[in-house]
Amino acid sequence: MRILLTLLLFLVVQFSLHADPFEDLLKSDWNQSQTLLIKNSVFQRLGRRANEKDVLKITKNVIPWAILEGVTPEKTADLIVNLDYAVKQGLVFEEAEDAIPVMSKRDLTKEDFSYIGLYFKETKKANIREEVRNRFVEAALEKNWDGLSILAGGRALIAGKLVDFPQNRLATKILSSLPAKGRTVAFEKLETGFKNSLDSKLEGGSYILLSNLKKLHAGEKGSEPKNLGNARAIESSLDEVGGIVIGERPKFEPLPDAPLVPNLPEVGEPTDYDTPTKEGWETLSSSALGKVAREWVGTPYKWANASKTGTDCSGFTYRVLTDGRIGVPEKMVSRASSAQTKMGIGVTHAEMRAGDLIFFSASPNQSKVTHVGMVLSKEEFAHASSSRGVVIDKVAMKWWIDRFVLSRRMFKKVID
């Protein structure tokens, strides 16, 4: 009888494991012990909700991100919990996921994660330059800012666009004007820092952003959801700002502050692009490209940076393309992956050759680019991996093929 009961218990346990939808989502990408670690960590914090439809959907969407970012099982569990919280607060997954690269190398509370997700949603909608908005977050976190202060900083950047403040220099001023711990200081300090960063030059939309920020700050003392989805007035303001083309109206005097992103000119500012570029750059030497790219191999990954002390994926491709031995003029290359998708001409996966840019997506929205690399040959491409730094991988690896979005060609001819 004891043997029979033991056998029945064994079968029940095996069936429950096999039928567990949460575990089934994970087991193809992690081994059994890693899967159990993720599952147990999420269950400890979400309880029975971990098996609910909404959480299972988030878990499924997090898996490609976790693999791309090379995060640990513990960090994967943190991402699932934080994204669940962000969605409950009114963001959709495709908005909140932009905070994943920020969190992949640091610990964030679920509240800070959600505010940073909202920061990205709003600054993207307002067309704040990708290089500026990414570097701003990195610089703010280096100064130990919390998520609400980062959101306030993003709204100050948006308000600056309303009055034609140069974004890159304004970002520097905001970093020295706002308090670091916006969630815990009196709101008046946030408001004062916001206004000081803009020299008190605010327009109507700026006050709408400030008014909503005050409501979010007040919500920190309550237990009700903060409704990060925003009110219609904010959405309308962001749409208005996003449609503004800087340079069409008279500007205020340029800010004296140093630009947050070096060598990134403001719209309308003179540049140093008159320096000679490599003659005949449109003909690429594949051997020269391979040499330049391999000199970067081993460079650590650092989000929102582009140097040999640390670079992200689009920073790496930018630096390779503009290297003097490759010679693409800097005015033709952006540091932002979204802008790099518009460079050159499109080519298919089968047509790719040395010098082409290759783009991937970890998002459930497969048209949304989240990663870029440089094709070295029909077999290999180089890229800045979050977990391994700059590496060379095979183009034909299944994971990359499954996540391929598009490729772009800058060079008219390739020689050995």
pLDDT in tens, 255-304: 778 889 887 877 666 555 445 566 789 999 999 999 999 999 999 999 99
Same domain, 124 and 235: yes
Same domain, 46 and 132: no
Beta bridge partners of residue 393, listed in sequence order: 381
Residues 363-373 have a mean pLDDT of 95
Do 74 and 144 belong together in one domain? Answer: no
Sign of CA dihedral 233, 121, 253, 140: positive
Please check whether residue 376 is in contact with residue 391, taking contact to mean a CB–CB distance below 8 angstroms.
no
Q: Determine the pLDDT at residue 252.
A: 54
| 272 found inside a domain | no
Q: How many CB atoms lie within 10 A of CB 155?
A: 27
Q: Are residues 190 and 292 in the same domain?
A: no
DSSP state of 301: B
At 393, is the secondary structure helix, strand, or coil? strand
Q: Specify if 305 maps to a domain.
A: yes
CA dist 134 and 123 (Å) reads: 10
Same domain, 397 and 327: yes
Residue range(s) defining the domain that contains residue 87: 27-97
In the chain, the largest separation of any two C-alpha atoms, in whole Å, equals 89
**Whole-number pLDDT of residue 246:** 62
60 domain residue, yes or no: yes
Do residues 91 and 116 share a domain? no
306, 405: one domain:
yes
Is residue 393 situated within a structural domain?
Answer: yes
Cβ atoms within 10 A of the Cβ of 391, count?
17
CB 68 within 8 A of CB 337: no
* In a domain? residue 52: yes
Is residue 18 domain-resident?
no
Structural domain total, the chain: 3
Distance between CA atoms of 155 and 176, rounded to whole angstroms?
15
The answer to whether residues 110 and 85 touch, using CB atoms and an 8 Å cutoff, is yes
Please determine, for residue 14, whether its predicted confidence score (pLDDT) is greater than 90. no
* pLDDT for res 29: 79
> What are phi and psi for residue 9, nearest 5 degrees?
-60, -40
Number of H helices, E strands in the chain: 18, 10
Show the beta-strand stretches assigned E in 227-289. 283-285
CATH code at 364? 3.90.1720.10
Span 83-123, pLDDT tens digits: 999 999 999 999 999 999 999 889 999 999 999 999 999 99
The answer to whether 119 touches 87, Cβ cutoff 8 Å, is no
Instruction: Select from 240, 275, 293 the last residue of a domain.
Output: 240
What distance in Å separates the CA atoms of residue 241 and residue 177, rounded to the nearest whole number? 22
- Identify whether the C-beta of residue 102 lies closer than 8 Å to the C-beta of residue 108: yes
Q: What angle do CA 142, 143, 145 make, to 5 degrees?
A: 105
As given in the structure block, the two tokens for residue 309 are 């002390």
Task: Give a yes or no: residue 106 inside a domain.
Answer: no
153-165, pLDDT tens digit by residue?
999 999 999 988 9
Residue 70 · residue 385 · CB < 8 Å: yes
Cα torsion 169, 170, 173, 177 to 10°: value is -170
Domain match, 88 and 119 both: no
117 falls within a domain: yes
Q: What is the bridge-based pairing of β-strands 380-385 and 371-375? A: antiparallel
CB 210 within 8 A of CB 154: no
Instruction: Examine the domain organization and report whether 405 and 362 are in the same domain.
Output: yes
Quick one: what percent of the chain has pLDDT higher than 90? 72
Asked whether residue 184 falls in the same domain as residue 160, the answer is yes
> Contact 340/357 with Cβ under 8 angstroms?
yes
On the question of pLDDT at 18 being above 50, the answer is no
Res 164: pLDDT: 87
Closest CA to 311 of 325, 298, 321: 298
Whether 330 and 354 share a structural domain: yes
The last residue of one of the domains, among 69, 97, 125, is: 97
Which segments of 323-380 does DSSP mark as H helices, in order?
A: 337-340
The runs of H, that is alpha helices, within 344-410 are 398-403
Same domain, yes or no: 194 and 317 = no
pLDDT tens digits, one per residue of 320-349: 999 999 999 998 999 999 999 999 999 999
Both tokens of 247, joined, read: 């340079």
Write down the pLDDT at residue 90.
92
160/394 Cα distance (integer angstroms): 44
Last residue of a domain, which of 183, 208, 240? Answer: 240
